Chains A and B, each alone.
Chain A
Amino acid sequence: MVGGRRLSLTWVGAVPFLAYVGVFLFLPTLIIAVGAFFGENGFTFANFANLSRSYIVAATVNSIILSAVTAVAGAVLGALLTYAIATGNPKGVVRRIAVSASGVLAQFGGVTLAFAFFATIGPAGFVYLWLAQHHLDFYSGGFWLYDLRGLMVVYLYFQIPLMVLVFLPAVDGIRPQWREATESLGGGTWHYWRYVAGPLLAPAFLGATLLLFANALSAYATAAALINQGGIILPLQISNAITSEVGLHEPGFAKAQAVVLIAIVAIVTALYGVLQRRTARWLT
């Protein structure tokens, strides 16, 4: 090997990760993207043309609204809760309970979550019935639990705890000394948040919001249990296209809809990249 260049082996450590991502992310994505171009009679663009069906457009818009609203509301409310937890006693019981509860509730979804809402604030739920008896009929304007507004409320139930989980490490990273430094330089609370804590937390906050968006966009089981009719959001329409037993079985069309979901996440991720570069500019 005299005079030869030694091959760098630093990439070897990444092989398991790359293999994992390849098998469980890129391969399925590829299968979906290719399959979207095939129908019963071979290659076709019909699956994408069918995306213009009015009920698919409506479901796509609903999915984006639902994800955006629950991501932003979940991020803001979750961040406030995180700040409250982080500024409390770091070894206190309240913090430990709040963090453990968040870990559990962030994974709470599907039929169990939907049923929990039916049993409490549903039209036959005990909380609703009790309030209605006391002249607080919150369904007098219609059963909002069964439309997009209901999904928003139910989704926030797992979005806020998820925000706490992913945002807490960033908030914990803030040192009290930085605030003291700001104050010793004559800055007030506004200056501290505007020039120190805000810019430091912004990338983590935006990243967490993006995660919440993707989490809501891909959620299926909760919505399926709550609103079974009409395919109100895109994941439910995909399910209809895959499993319809009345002959509306269109696997290629389901894949085309999945490509739409992937495209939405890709666009939002790109926007996040741009935003993060802007917010991180002052650090470099």
Chain B
Amino acid sequence: MNWRYQIRGLGVAVATLLVVAACGSSGGGGAAACTTAKTATSAAACGGMDSLVAAANAEGKLNVIALPRDWANYGAVLDAFAAKYPSIKITSDNPTGSSQDEVNAVQQLGTSSRAPDVLDIGMAVALANLTLFTPYKVATWNDILAAQKEPTGLWFQDYGGFMSIGYDSSKVPAITALQDLLGSGFKGKIALNGDPTKANAALNGVMMASLANGGSLDDVSKGVDFFHQLKTAGNFVPVQATTATVKNGTTPVVFDWDYLSATHGTDVPSWKVFVPSNAILGGYYAQAISKTAPHPAAARLWEEFLYSDAGQNLWLKGLARPVRQAAMTAAGTVDAGAAAALPKVNGTPVFLSADQATAAKAYLASHWAAAIS
């Protein structure tokens, strides 16, 4: 241990003392439970963290939805929250659901005790359903870039990554450019993570192929053409890529977010993740709190946990890039080992805007089925 770590340790100790002192002055022992959690737009508006925790403990439950345990390390996130707040029982519903499934659940279950409290959703669905959310700003709100949050806190991005091509290097040749995929070594081997007219990850996969083939964020047609070429060459496989199909070799090449793709390395040691330098397409998911959340305090506490250093580092361990990563790197609170394990990316990333996504999906809706059949 060198002196720098000791100073950091000292800093943490001082910060802890300050927090403890703050708690002592506001709570006076056991903090009173916040009674306005349903409309509170920050922990401070709820009387501080202690009273938010007290209110969440009183609710005793938290409903989350569509959080696969092997997605962005959510298994560990759920376990860590349960360990930190043992009196809040988490119900994790429909773990493999889509973003639209989450919104459907909010609309159909309303204020019933089974309705989801918090959502982790794709941006397209978030922007189309703003009326279902209630604004909230986590304590670390200022670390999130302005472009990655709604100004009042209706949604705020949580983690993301870059579109990549993952491949089993023991089954196919090394990939250094997208055009390599048209080669004969890839016959019946290339898959997407879902149907691009349905799944956000797949839509971005086609968009990435478009960028690498002379298209632009406004023009996905080059990507559709590319997949049509793959299909004609007999290289495209219409199977949904899953952990099982990767493991057994049915889908040894997969277009997917780099943080999801990299997790295949645990099953397939020869799994490699490639991000083409001429098509660095980023994508982030967003958090939102349901306006009709049956457990409003627990929902807010969950967000505070996700955006704490601990929560952000857990996502990072799952190879997702947390939204506060830049701020945490500057502050030295980031898990350096986990950050070093991320796939390397050289170049400037681009992001689909809402309008560009709308144009892309309209084109895909009318052209995709014909291109790959």
Give the B-binding residues of A (Cβ under 8 A). Answer: 53-55, 58-59, 115, 118-119, 122-125, 139, 142-143, 146-147, 224-232, 239-240, 242-249
Jot down 5 A-B pairs with beta carbons below 8 A, ordered by A. Answer: A58-B369, A228-B238, A230-B373, A246-B361, A249-B100
Task: Tell me if B244 and A245 are in contact (CB < 8 A).
Answer: no
Cβ B188 vs Cβ A139 within 8 A: yes
**Which residue in chain A gives the minimum CB-CB distance to B122?**
A245
Q: Which of B84-130 contact A (CB under 8 A)?
A: 98-101, 104, 121-122, 124-125, 128
Q: Is the CB of A240 within 8 A of B197?
A: yes
Q: Does B372 lie within 8 Å of A229, measured CB to CB?
A: yes
Q: A146-B238, A228-B195, A230-B195 are in contact. Are A243 and B372 (CB under 8 A)?
A: no
Give the distance in Å from the alpha carbon of A54 to the alpha carbon of B366 in the complex: 8
A248–B195 Cα distance when bound, in Å, is: 12
Closest to A118 in B: B250
Determine the distance from Cα of A142 to Cα of B194 in the docked complex, in whole angstroms. Answer: 22
Which residues of A sit under 8 angstroms from B192, Cβ to Cβ?
228-229
Pick the 4 closest A-B CB pairs, nearest first: A124-B249, A228-B240, A229-B238, A245-B99
Set of chain B residues within 8 Å of A125, measured between Cβ atoms: 250
Q: What is the CA–CA distance of A135 and B361 in the complex, to the nearest angstrom?
A: 43
Q: Does B226 contact A (CB under 8 A)?
A: no
Question: Which residues of chain A are near B248, meaning CB under 8 Å?
Answer: 115, 118-119, 124
Complex interface: chain A residues within 8 A of B99 (CB)? 245
Contacts of B101 in A (CB 8 A): 243
- Chain B 220-239 interface mask (CB, 8 Å, partner A; 1/0): 00000000000000100111
Given contacts A228-B238, A231-B369, contact A245 B195 (CB under 8 A): no
Contacts of B188 in A (CB 8 A): 123, 139, 143
- CB-CB < 8 A to A119: which residues of B? 248
Q: Is the CB of A228 within 8 A of B125?
A: no
* A142 contacts across to B, CB distance below 8 A: 234
User: What 1/0 flags go to B52-79 for Cβ under 8 Å of A?
Assistant: 0000000000000000000000000000
Contacts of B357 in A (CB 8 A): 246-247
Q: Once bound together, how far apart are the Cα atoms of A225 and B370, in whole Å?
A: 20
Judged by a CB distance under 8 angstroms, whether B333 is at the interface is no
In contact, A230 and B244 (Cβ under 8 angstroms) = no
The segment from B177-185, B198-206, B308-316, B322-330 that touches chain A is B198-206
User: Residue of B at shortest CB range from A249?
Assistant: B100
A146 to B188, CA, bound (A): 10
Contact assessment for A244 and B198 in the assembled complex, using a CB-CB cutoff below 8 Å: yes
Residue B196 is within 8 A (CB to CB) of chain A in the complex:
yes
Closest chain-B Cβ to A133's Cβ sits at a distance in Å of: 15
Chain B residues, Cβ within 8 Å of A54? 370
* Residue with the greatest number of chain B CB neighbours at <10 A, chosen from A125, A139, A246, A248: A246
Interface pair B124/A247, CB less than 8 Å apart? yes
Q: Could you tell me if B239 and A55 are in contact, using CB atoms closer than 8 angstroms?
A: no
Determine the residue in chain B with the shortest Cβ distance to A141: B234
Q: Measured between alpha carbons, how far is A54 from B121 in the docked complex, in Å? A: 31
Q: Which residue of B lies closest to A126 (CB)?
A: B248
How many angstroms from the CA of A263 to the CA of B369 in the assembled complex? 24
A247 near B361 with CB under 8 A, answer yes
Please give the distance in Å from A250's CB to the nearest CB on chain B.
10
A118-B245, A230-B372 known; 17 new pairs, CB 8 Å cut-off, are A59-B369, A118-B239, A119-B248, A123-B188, A226-B239, A228-B240, A230-B373, A231-B197, A240-B198, A244-B198, A245-B100, A246-B196, A246-B199, A247-B358, A247-B361, A248-B197, A248-B361
Nearest-Cβ distance from residue A22 to partner chain B, whole angstroms: 22
Q: B199: which A residues are within 8 A, CB to CB?
A: 245-246
Chain A CB count within 10 A is highest, among B101, B121, B194, B239, for B239
Q: Is there contact, CB below 8 Å, between A231 and B195?
A: yes
Please determine whether B239 and A246 come into contact, CB atoms closer than 8 angstroms: no
- Judge whether B369 and A227 touch: CB under 8 Å: no
Asked whether any CB of chain A lies closer than 8 Å to the CB of B174, the reply is: no
Smallest beta-carbon distance B2→chain A, Å: 47
B302 within 8 A of A: no
A232–B373 touching, CB < 8 Å: yes
Say yes or no: A146-B197 contact (C-beta < 8 A), given A118-B248, A246-B361: no
Pairwise interchain contact B240-A146, C-beta atoms closer than 8 A:
no
Beyond A118-B245, A123-B250, A226-B239, is A245–B200 a contact (Cβ under 8 Å)? yes
CB of A213, distance to nearest CB on chain B (Å): 23
* B240–A224 touching, CB < 8 Å: yes
Which of B197, B369, B373 contacts A246 (CB under 8 A)? B197
Q: Is B365 an interface position by the 8 A CB rule?
A: yes
Docked Cα-Cα span, A124 to B189, in Å, equals 9
Closest Cβ of chain A to B333, distance in Å, is: 32
- Is there a chain A Cβ closer than 8 Å to B368's Cβ? yes
